[in-house]
Amino acid sequence: MARYDHHDKPYDEGTRQKLRIYAAFLRAWIQVFLHTQAFPGPLRFFDFFAGPGQDINGVSGSPMILMEELARHYDLIGSSNRGIEILFNDFKEKKARALSDLCAARRYPFVPRIESEDFFKSFEGHREEIGCSPSFVLLDQCGVKFVTKEIFQYLTTRPQTDMLFFFASSSQRRFSDQFANDLQIPTDTPYWEVHRRVADCYRAWAPLNYFVGQYSIKKGGNIYGLVFGSGHWLGMYKFLTTDSGEEANYEIEAPLRQRDFFIETKLTKLEKLEEELEHLIREHVLLSDGAVALHCVTQGVLPTKVAPTVYKRLRAKGVLGHSREQQPRSSDDAIRNPRPLIFLH
């Protein structure tokens, strides 16, 4: 039986959602580094599963999204004196050739390197380039077997490097023994938890103070996961401001579970974080709005989604006070310039 190739058909809604998230984060990532000189050198982009650049209807895939975004920022790139280095790889020579022809036909202002190599060979050949200057690595793998523990941990140690990769959560759950990437997800894991379990594995492999975010996309009966990684809180914050801040494109929490004569409800992720924040503030572990906001980002949640509710609750309980001038904030400004919380007891 021939293997299904999503480039041979129009992209489905799940794929389009994935590409929208990629485009939104890519736009924010480029703008951040074009407006700072703190990280010198060219902007480097690595897409190791690039494909032919578009679907059968000409809808842009990840390579064309990058090339179009860079073209839109052409003047700003020039004024910032930034170089641009791009690597596109696809192990199918036919797709790499189609991508090369497409880039040439559209005459983009930046010329990518295009290769057709096995992923591991391509990665090995370019691994030392990653992180030499601001780098963005995209790994839109088929299945889950390519982002191994070794590769993931290597990328987390590279400076100035953000990564975004995709995996077939449902395949990992059903066929875990067929993949050599150290991920072991119990086969009885509920479908709404698969993406979290997989992301938690990567989170456990990451070094301290490394940020790992996640998003899941339901396509028919299957779940496809997205994992983002950054060594800087701002990278994670920008990721959360895309559609990925909602964590999934479907209802992700478990339904009510009935046990004997009572019904036990499952707290949502946000409700759990609200309880955790309230406890940490009460215990004087988190002493500023910046610490609260950073804790939210570390947990993969925008502070605006939970912190205001917690502050209001604690003021009503007489734990926190506030002044008009010193109200705690939930934006990224809180992390940059934190204000101390006003404790009443």
| CATH code, domain carrying 242 | 3.40.50.150
Q: What is the rounded CA–CA span in Å between residue 61 and residue 202?
A: 26
Q: What is the rounded CA–CA span in Å between residue 255 and residue 317?
A: 31
Say whether both 282 and 166 belong to one domain. no
Say whether both 156 and 286 belong to one domain. no
What is the residue range of 26's domain?
6-252
Q: What is the pLDDT of residues 211-236, one digit of tens each?
A: 998 887 776 666 777 889 999 999 99
Q: Which of 201, 229, 252 represents a domain boundary (last residue)?
A: 252
Neighbours of 183 (CB within 10 A): 21
Q: What is the mean pLDDT of residues 93-102?
A: 96
Q: What is the pLDDT of residues 102-150, one digit of tens each?
A: 999 999 999 999 999 999 999 999 999 999 999 999 998 765 678 888 9
Q: What is the rounded CA–CA span in Å between residue 205 and residue 181?
A: 12
pTM of the full structure? 0.86
Q: What is the pLDDT of residues 36-93, one digit of tens each?
A: 888 899 999 999 999 999 999 999 999 999 999 999 999 999 999 999 999 999 999 9
Tell me the range of 109-113, 196-200, 268-272 where mean pLDDT is highest.
109-113
- Own/partner pairs, 203-208, CB within 8 angstroms, 24+ separation: 205/149, 205/152, 205/153, 205/156, 206/152, 206/153, 206/156, 207/153, 207/156, 207/157
Say whether both 149 and 110 belong to one domain. yes
Say whether both 236 and 320 belong to one domain. no
Say whether both 243 and 284 belong to one domain. no
Say whether both 284 and 323 belong to one domain. yes
- Cα angle value 67/249/30 (rounded, 5°): 25
In a domain, 258, yes or no: no
In a domain, 1, yes or no: no
Q: What is the mean pLDDT of residues 300-325?
A: 91
Give the pLDDT band of residue 179 (cuts 50, 70, 90): low
Strand, coil or helix: 224 = strand
pLDDT of residue 277: 97
pLDDT of residue 7: 59
Give the position of tokens 């700072």.
36
pLDDT of residue 184: 72
pLDDT of residue 79: 93
Q: What is the rounded CA–CA span in Å between residue 66 and residue 147?
A: 22
pLDDT of residue 243: 62
- Cα angle value 151/25/221 (rounded, 5°): 75
Q: Looking at the chain, list the stretches that DSSP marks H as alpha helix, in order from N- to C-terminal side.
A: 13-34, 62-72, 74-79, 93-106, 119-126, 149-157, 169-174, 191-205, 233-240, 269-282, 289-298, 307-316, 332-336
Say whether both 201 and 307 belong to one domain. no
Domain count, the chain: 2
Q: What is the pLDDT of residues 11-24, one digit of tens each?
A: 888 788 889 889 99
Q: Which of 252, 272, 287 represents a domain boundary (last residue)?
A: 252
- List, in sequence order, every residue forming a beta bridge with 212; answer none if it has no partner: 229
pLDDT of residue 257: 38
Say whether both 274 and 236 belong to one domain. no
Strand 135-140 relative to strand 43-47, pairing: parallel
- Cα angle value 160/45/237 (rounded, 5°): 50
